[in-house]
Amino acid sequence: MTDIIRMLGISGSLRAGSYNTALLRAATELLPEGMTLDIYNLAPIPLYNEDIRAQGDPASVQEFRTRIADADALVIATPEYNYSIPGVLKNAIDWASRPPTPPLPGKPVAIMGASPGGFGTVRSQMHLKYLCADLNMYPLNRPNVLVSHCQEKFDPAGRLVDEETSEMIRKMLVALAGWVRRLQTTPDE
Ligand SMILES: Cc1cc2nc3c(=O)[nH]c(=O)nc-3n(C[C@H](O)[C@H](O)[C@H](O)COP(=O)(O)O)c2cc1C
């Protein structure tokens, strides 16, 4: 068991002004002691193509898989696109899911999301949890971080200014630390 819990943050949005990436940036400032969070940029990952994979994973995919493998947990901030997760995120997950030695099975993951609408990405988060079942990942079920009306909760520079949301993220990170420790003491058979 490592003392420090090293997390990899993944945003499902490539947009410079993304609220979901901003949510991850906020999480880096709300970390409990003993946790680190690096944000990974999915932009260099190409569209999944089995022909490309047959020639060996592209360097960006290799790096992504290594960064997942090296992390004690993932924190995914997903937008909601048409009631589901964006293709960018699904595409990256598809690359990471392929053999040999896929890094996702057994990985604890916390999911959060921000949307300008009233539902705070609940539908895309449920879809992501559905994928986690197939991937044999271990999503944290509570507390939920569902950030609705997100345009009111960030300032123009993309800094989270809503204390209730900050508190939800803090609680989620503390719960994730407990979840990681629990899974580390009960490893897979
Ligand atoms: C293709 C597309 C589909 C969308 N579908 C939904 C949706 O189903 N539910 C929702 O709440 N917002 C939806 N939105 C709005 C996004 O929540 C909004 O663009 C959000 O800011 C995206 O996240 P980001 O700020 O991290 O880029 C959609 C946006 C796009 C571009």
Cβ-Cβ contacts under 8 Å for 76 (sequence gap 6 or more): 9, 10, 11, 12, 89, 109, 110, 111, 112, 128
User: Ligand 1: does its nearest atom lie under 6 Å from the Cβ of 124?
Assistant: no
Q: What is the pLDDT of residue 186?
A: 77
Q: What is the DSSP string of 124-140?
A: HHHHHHHHHHHHT-EE-
CATH numbers and ranges of domains, the chain: 5-185 (3.40.50.360)
Q: Where are the alpha helices (DSSP H) in 82-155?
A: 87-97, 122-135
Q: Output b/e per residue, 120-145; b: 16+ Cβ within 10 A.
A: bbbbbbebbeebbeebebbbbeebbb
Stretches where the chain sits below pLDDT 70 are 1-2, 187-189
Task: Verify whether ligand 1 is closer than 6 Å to residue 81 (CB atom).
Answer: yes
Ligand 1: which of 18, 42, 76, 82 to mutate, most ligand atoms within 8 Å of CB?
82
Atom of ligand 1 nearest to the CA of 21: 26
- The pLDDT tens digits of the residues spanning 134-172 come to 999 999 999 999 999 999 999 999 999 999 999 999 999
Residue 18 near ligand 1, beta carbon < 6 Å: yes
Ligand 1, pocket-test mutation among 25, 41, 85, 115, most atoms within 8 A of CB = 115
Report the separation in Å between the CA atom of 81 and the middle of ligand 1, taken as the mean of its atom positions.
Answer: 5
Residue 78 Cβ contacting ligand 1 at under 6 Å:
no
Closest CA relative to residue 158, chosen from 9, 37, 29, 32: 29
- pLDDT value at residue 157: 97
Q: pTM above the 0.75 mark? A: yes
Tell whether ligand 1 has an atom less than 6 A from the beta carbon of residue 20.
yes
